[in-house]
Amino acid sequence: MQRKVNVWTSIDWLTVTIYLILVIAGWLNIYAAVFDEEHKSILDISQSYGKQLIWIFAAFAIAIIILIIDSEFYSFFAYVVYGLLILLLISVLTMGKEVNGARSWFEIGSLRLQPAEFTKFATNLAVAKYLSTFHLKTYRIRTLIVVGILMIVPVGLIILQNDTGSALVYAAFIFVLYREGLSVGVLIVGFLLAVLFVLTLIASKISVLIGLLILGFLLFGIFRQRLREFIVAISIYVGLTIVLWILNEIFNYKTSMYNIYVASIVLSSIVYIVHIYKKKIAIGFWILGTLFISIGFTFSVDYFFNNVLEQHQQERISELLGVQSDPLGAGYNVNQSKIAIGSGGFFGKGFLQGTQTKYNFVPEQSTDFIFCTVGEEWGFLGTTFVIILFVFFLLRLIMLAERQRSTFSRVYGYGVVAIFFFHIVINIGMTIGLAPVIGIPLPFFSYGGSSLWAFTFLLFIFLRLDASRLELLR
């Protein structure tokens, strides 16, 4: 049974309408953000708003082409598209142009393309294709490993390009996995690890370590309810620490206190394990195991932060966590962003009347920090409107994803939701000081052809799949 539907009647026009509103609102705000009295015409293509208009028309053309192509194409060629984009990522590393420390751009004449933007929809296609394989169980470790590899390849290449912001987007796929059967525990563990991550960065490694230990002892005490065991356990640990400290002083090894704490954890754990094993205390294993995993995590976060992340990335993360406020660095941008948004008040200063956004973020005013212009010129009314519009957009996409008959279309749909959600949350969050400044664009608003086109690809492939959802079961 196979019948072709007419794309133009079965496409979800509501989503298309929201898309159009967002794109046009974005364009007007770019105009306002870089408004220049010398170049008043909004159509002036020497200015970024003029260029953006060209990108917008090109995006419309892309959308139409996507809709014309048969919906089976996307499923059939999912891996091919993925492979091509990976090749592009590799070649941009060697032949790309370096802009602001990131080698992630192809320059063709005056046009700059960023392959990392397009890899998002390609990876989404590949993941959807894989998860829709017949008889596949999402909760199997093997499945997760394959999905992990599908994501690690582009993530690794993007990090090599020095564009960590774009790489972090892939974390959003956890929602897709959750929807496809991963247990709710995954979400919770993810959340807890995030908290521990933040704590490691804010507080010193040593205090996190001590905190974890205390927590471990407390849990042990609560579950076992035996005061004597509890006191003995603590005494073993404290005693070992003191012995190690004295040894260190006597032999003058000059080891840090931190190493002493870790060493006594390891040594005392051996005693505990023996005890737990003898008495067969199941809960003890769980507590000890969790403790070890947490300590390992703390270690690796600390290592990652200090040895892997670049100076500017460290500063950006630290900034959000309030670890340090670098005068004219990242903290300065967020302060200016808050001033711009805050000064907008309830009704805003009016279209083109904003001044803050015009003189503070030269490099990022029309890209990463475009939401400031919305806040300054349109006030609380404007920002709320944009947020509600985005929420409406996302909920509509969830609805569309749920009504798919094929796993492929549903997984792809949730991927679209997850990617958009991540961008929106991080981008708006960073302008109001609630998320780290990791420099990813606000969908449809931020200036730039690559991101607009990539988001158009992402969305319209889904709309195309949705339009023919009744054609056949995949």
Partner 1 sequence: MKSFIEKKIVIGAIIVLIAFIYILRLFYLQVIDTKYKYSADNNVLRYETQYPARGLIYDRYGELMVFNEAAYDLMVIPRQINNLDTLDLCNVLKISIQDFREKLYKAKVYSRYKPSLFVKQLSNEDYAILQEKLHKYSGFFVQTRTLRAYLQKTAAHVLGYVGEVDDKIVSEKPYYKSGDYIGISGIEKSYEEILRGQKGVKIFMVDVHNRIKGSFANGELDTIPIVGKNIHLTISAKLQLLGEKLMNKKTGSIVAIEPSTGEILALVSSPSYDPNLLVGRVRSENYSKLNKDSIKPLFNRALMAKYPPGSIFKIVESLIGLEYGVINPNTGFACNKSLVNCHNHPTATNLTMAIQHSCNPYYFMVYNRIIQQGVSTNRFKDSEIGVARWSKSVKEFGLGQLLDIDLPGMKKGRIPDVDFYNRWYGEGRWAFSTIYSNGIGQGEVEIVPLQMANFTSVIANKGYYYTPHLIKKIENTDTIPSKYLKKNKVNVKPEYFDLVTNAMELVVEAGTARRAKIKDIPVCGKTGTAENPQGEDHSVFIAFAPRENPKIAIAVYVENAGFGGTWAAPIASLMIEQYLTDSISRPDLEKYVIDYK
Contacting positions for partner 1 (CB under 8 A):
36-38, 100, 175, 178-179, 183-184, 325, 327-328, 331-332, 335, 338-339, 341-346, 349, 355-356, 358-360, 363, 375, 379-380, 383-384, 387-388, 390-391, 394-395, 398, 401-402, 414, 417, 421, 425, 428-429, 432, 434
3-state secondary structure of 171: helix
Beta bridge partners of 36: 39
Nearer to partner 1, 364 or 471 (CB): 364
As measured in angstroms, the least distance from the Cβ of 331 to partner 1 is 8
Q: Least distance in Å: CB of 338 to partner 1?
A: 6
For the bound state, the minimum distance from the C-beta of residue 372 to partner 1, rounded and expressed in Å, comes to: 11
**Cβ(166)–Cβ(85) under 8 Å?**
no
Beta bridge partners of 97: 105
Of 17, 12, 53, nearest to 403 (Cα)? Answer: 12
Q: How far is the CB of 371 from partner 1 (least distance, A)?
A: 10
d(CA 274, CA 241) in angstroms, rounded, equals 19
* Minimum distance from residue 34 beta carbon to partner 1 (Å): 11
Q: Which is nearer to partner 1, 120 or 358 (CB)?
A: 358
Tokens of 432: 């109001």
Neighbour count for residue 162 (Cβ, 10 Å): 18
When the beta carbons of 165 and 375 are compared against partner 1, the nearer one is 375
Over the range 287-326, which residues count as b (16 or more CB within 10 Å of their CB) and which as e? bbeebeebbebbeebeeebeeeeeebbbbbbbbbeeeeee
Alpha carbon separation from 68 to 62, 160, 409, 410, 467 (Å, rounded): 10, 36, 17, 21, 11
Closer residue to partner 1 in complex, CB, 137/279: 137
Please, what is the minimum distance in Å from the beta carbon of residue 254 to partner 1? 17
**Shortest reach from residue 387's CB to partner 1, in Å:** 5
Q: Which residue, 184 or 473, is less far from partner 1 as judged by CB?
A: 184
CB–CB of 240/268 below 8 Å?
A: yes
Q: Looking at beta carbons only, is 86 or 418 nearer to partner 1?
A: 418
Task: Report d(CA 162, CA 20) in Å as an integer.
Answer: 32
Q: Kindly tell me which of 289 and 363 has the beta carbon lying closer to partner 1.
A: 363
Q: 3-class SS at 106?
A: strand
